[in-house]
Each structure stands twice: as C-alpha cells, then as structure tokens.
Amino acid sequence: MSEAPLSLHDAIYTLRAMRRLKPDPVPEEDLRYVIDAATQAASGENTQSWAFVVVTDAEKRKRIGDVYRQLAETGIPSLIEAAADESEARVYRHALRFAGRFGDVPAMIVCCLRGPHPTGESATAQATWYGSILPSVQNLMLAARSRGLGTVLTTMHIFSEADIKRVLGIPDEFSTVAIIPIGYPEGEWRQPVRKPSGEVTHWNEWGIQR
Ligand SMILES: Cc1cc2nc3c(=O)[nH]c(=O)nc-3n(C[C@H](O)[C@H](O)[C@H](O)COP(=O)(O)O)c2cc1C
C-alpha cells in the first residue's frame, strides 16, 4: 500500500532546518519538482526574475563547501561567544558543525535573483527585492519536505558571493540570495521550536493580545 501524501499542514508544521543529510543522491525528478514548486511563488510585479542553479557535481560541491566552511570558521566562533543565550549559541554551533560537511551534501540549489543586492536603497526597494525570491525558497523547502527531503536555508555564502558565482559561472547581472542544501535527512521530522503565535499576535491595536 502506498503512503498517503503529506498534507500541507503537516509539511508546514514539521519543516525545520535539516543540517544532517545522508549522502544518497536526490532523484533528478525531485530536484525538478522542488524548483517547479518554487516557480509557482509570487514576486513583486510578477517579475519572476529568479534562477536556480542545481549543483550535484562533486567537484563543484566541494569548492562551494570549502568557501562556506572557511567563512563559517572565520565568523561563527565569535558569534557563539557573543550569543545572547544558550539556544542562540546552539544554533551557531549547529551551523558551524554543518559548515564542515557543507560540501558533502548530495545536492545544493543556489537561488539567484536578477540585479544587485539592494544595499543602500529604500526599505521598500529592499523588501520588494528579497521578497521576490524568499517566497519561492519557502515553496521549494515545503515541496522538498513533501517528498521526504530535508533542506536548510543558508545565506552565509553571500560574504564570499563572488567566489560562489565564479564556481558556477553565474553572470554579473544575477545575485545569489540563498544556497539550499537538499538531501534525505539523518534526523527526525518534528515540529520545530517556535514562540506561541498568540505571543506575537495583536488584535486591532498593538499590545492587545487574547
Ligand atoms: C534568512 C535565513 C538565513 C539563514 N542562514 C543560515 C546560514 O547561513 N547557515 C545555516 O546553517 N543556517 C541558516 N539559516 C537557518 C536557521 O538557522 C534556521 O532556520 C533556524 O535556526 C530555525 O531552525 P529550525 O527550523 O531547525 O528550528 C538561515 C535561516 C534563514 C531564515
């Protein structure tokens, strides 16, 4: 008997950062599906200026992994020291440990958007620019979840974005916003730890909570 498909509710409520991924290859059909799901997302003025680079080539994954690991080893230890509390420090420790294995994930999807990062532009321009790719990234991650594939949204590579673009031949007119490692999880699916929604909901006036 085939398994019932995962409901959207269950996908949303069990999607979490999966940093422990098996080396088993991800079927190409699944990679095509998650990107197709990504391209169903909204973008400002429906520009759809996104592009997705799938990286399965072992040599390229290694080169990207090396760039990512060096960045993490340079930047994350001081973040661990400066963390406000243990749970923040734990996230950084996980991220640092993951960085050492980044190049070993079976596939990565580099999410690109046309144009430069909107540094120095208005808040509206910045929100519209990043907001024109991040909904597609969430679609991609949910679609992966629906096929039993783990993902984690990463952005740290942007510190060395030129190196990543060079490895993949990404043209100057595109920027990279996220790298999504994807693979079958070693870890369990479970509801992530989040604040209760009631704590962050205000009814008709800020501060009125019920
Ligand atoms: C905008 C954004 C950027 C992130 N960048 C990184 C990153 O560079 N490296 C990393 O390991 N995780 C990164 N993460 C993953 C977060 O640390 C993770 O989603 C968060 O801690 C929640 O984890 P959980 O779903 O397992 O609870 C990023 C997440 C978001 C939303």
pLDDT in tens, 151-171: 999 999 999 999 999 999 999
Does some domain include residue 72? no
Element (H, E) at 130: helix 123-130
CB distance 143 to 44 below 8 Å: no
CATH number at residue 40: 3.40.109.10
Does some domain include residue 64? no
Closest ligand 1 atom, residue 193 Cα: 27
Residues whose beta carbon lies within 6 Å of some atom of ligand 1: 16-17, 91, 95, 98, 152-156, 192-193
Element (H, E) at 111: strand 107-114
Query: What is the per-residue pLDDT for 32?
Result: 98
Closest ligand 1 atom, residue 16 Cα: 25
Q: Which residue has the higher pLDDT, 192 or 4?
A: 192
What tens digit of pLDDT does each residue of 79-123 get?
999 999 999 999 999 999 999 999 999 999 999 999 999 999 999
| Distance from C-alpha of 22 to C-alpha of 10, rounded to nearest angstrom | 22
Nearest to 108 by CA among 35, 52, 169, 56: 56
Å from CA of 198 to ligand 1 middle = 23
Question: Which pLDDT band holds residue 1 (cuts at 50, 70, 90)?
Answer: low
Question: Which pLDDT band holds residue 59 (cuts at 50, 70, 90)?
Answer: very high
Supply the residue whose CA is at minimum distance from atom 6 of ligand 1.
Answer: 154
Does some domain include residue 191? no
Does some domain include residue 96? no
Structural domain that includes position 46: 9-56+108-185
Å from CA of 143 to ligand 1 middle = 18
Å from CA of 37 to ligand 1 middle = 21
Query: What is the per-residue pLDDT for 2?
Result: 61
Å from CA of 94 to ligand 1 middle = 10
Give Cα 68 distance to the centre of its chain: 14
Question: Which pLDDT band holds residue 5 (cuts at 50, 70, 90)?
Answer: confident
Supply the residue whose CA is at minimum distance from atom 21 of ligand 1.
Answer: 91
Supply the residue whose CA is at minimum distance from atom 27 of ligand 1.
Answer: 192
Q: What is the number of domains present in the chain?
A: 1
Does some domain include residue 159? yes
- What is the overall mean pLDDT for the chain? 97
Q: Span 115-138, mean pLDDT?
A: 98
Does some domain include residue 23? yes
Query: What is the per-residue pLDDT for 4?
Result: 78
What tens digit of pLDDT does each residue of 14-54 get?
999 999 999 999 999 999 999 999 999 999 999 999 999 99
Does some domain include residue 78? no
Does some domain include residue 192? no
